[in-house]
Structure 1
Amino acid sequence: MKLENQKFAEKVLKYLLIGSQVDGIKFGLDGSTTILYFTNYSRKEDDAFCLNIETAWTVYPASCDKYPLSEAQVPTNTEEQHFKYIWDIRREKVVNVQLDTVSPHLIISLESGKVLFVNGHDANYECWQLGDHFAGGNCEWLLVATPGGNIEAWSPEHFE
C-alpha cells in the first residue's frame, strides 16, 4: 500500500466517520456480507455512510498493540455473535479511524474504547467499501480496500 494513498484515505475516513455512530446493520444472503450504517447526527451534509464488509471482522473490547495480519487470523464469529457485537456498540461515537500500515485493515475506535476491526487484505477480492453510494443517488465519497492489500479513495473535488 502506497503511503500517500494510505494518508489520504485516513484523512477521508476521519472526516467521514469521526463523530458518527453505528446506526444500523444488514446481513447479506450467505453470511459473507455485512453492511453497517453510520450516521453523524451533528452534521447536515455528509452525514450518512455505509460500510460494506465482505471479509472477516470483529469487535475488540479495547485497543490492541497488534491486530491480525490476514483474514485467517481474525477470530471466527457466528452471525449471532456479529449481531451482538453491533448491538453492543450501537450509538457509540467513533473517536478515531486508522488503517494498518501494511494493508488497509480498517480500525475504528469507539468512545467506550472498543475497536471495530475489518480485515483489509485479500489477494483476489475487495474486502470492504465505505461510501455514500450504497444509499442511492450520486456517489461523492468512496473508499475501497482493493485486491492485493491496496486502498483507493474518491472524494469531491473540494476535499483536500
Structure 2
Amino acid sequence: MEERDRELAESVLNRLFCGSAVNGLRFFTPQILLDGPAKISQEGYINLTSEWVVFDSLPKEYPGSFEELTQEEEELAIHKLRGEKVEKIEILSPWPHLVVHFKSGKVLFIHGKDEQYEPWTAGLTNFGNDSEQWLVVACPDGGLAVWAPEGWAAHENV
C-alpha cells in the first residue's frame, strides 16, 4: 500500500464519518450504517466483509486471528454500537486494517488482509441526482482505491 493512498483514504473516511453516529445495520453482508456527515445528505456505510471485532477500549495490540461468530452474534455486536459517535478513523499499514475509534472509547477493528477479496469498503450511498461519489475500497493484496468528488482536497473540512 502506498503511503499517500493510505493518507488520502484516511482523510476521506475522517471527512465522511467523524461526528457521525451508528444508526443501523444491513443484513447478509454485515454493513454498519452511519448518519451522513455535515453538509452532505447521504447515508454512510462500512461493509464488514472480512473478520472484525469490537473492543470496549483500545487494545494493546490488534488480533491476527478472530473468534468465529454466528450471524446472530455479529448482529448483536453491531446493534450494541447503535448511537456510538465516531471520533476518528485510522487505516493501519502495511495492510489496510480499518480502525474506527468511537467517542465512548470503543474500537471497531476490521481486518484488512485478504489475497482474493476486498476486506472492507466504506463510503456514502449514491441515491438521487445530487448525490456525490465517496468510496474507499481495501483491495485484495493490500492496496486502497479512493473515489471522492472532483476538486475535493485531502484534509479539507476534516
| Same fold at TM > 0.5 | yes
Match of 2:58 in 1: 63
Cα RMSD, aligned residues only: 1.7
Deviation at 1:46, TM superposition (A): 5.2
Match of 1:45 among 40, 44, 48: 40
Match of 1:108 in 2: 100
Matched, 1:86 2:78: yes
Match of 1:154 among 131, 147, 157: 147
The answer to which structure, 1 or 2, has the higher relative contact order (CA under 8 A, 6+ apart) is 2
Q: Give the match's secondary structure for 1:89.
A: coil
Match of 1:136 in 2: 127
Q: Return the letter of the residue paired with 1:10.
A: E
Q: Deviations over 1:37-89 (max 9, x none)?
A: 1114x7241552121221111111111232134xxx12322222212212221
Instruction: Give the 4+ runs in structure 1 shifted more than 4 A.
Output: none
Q: Deviations over 1:87-122 (max 9, x none)?
A: 221111000110111111110011111111111110
Match of 2:30 in 1: 34
User: Which structure 1 residue ranges, 5 or more long, are not aligned?
Assistant: none
Q: Quick one: percent identity of the two aligned structures? A: 33
Q: Give the match's secondary structure for 1:85.
A: helix
Counterpart-to-counterpart distance in 2, 1:67 and 1:46:
34
TM-score of the aligned structures, taking structure 2 as reference length: 0.87
TM-score of the aligned structures, taking structure 1 as reference length: 0.86
Counterpart-to-counterpart distance in 1, 2:19 and 2:41:
12
Match of 2:112 among 92, 102, 120: 120
> How many pairs align?
151
Counterpart-to-counterpart distance in 2, 1:118 and 1:46:
26
Whether the aligned pair in 1 keeps the contact of 2:16 and 2:123 (CA below 8 Å) is no
Q: Return the letter of the residue paired with 1:39.
A: D
Deviation at 1:149, TM superposition (A): 1.2
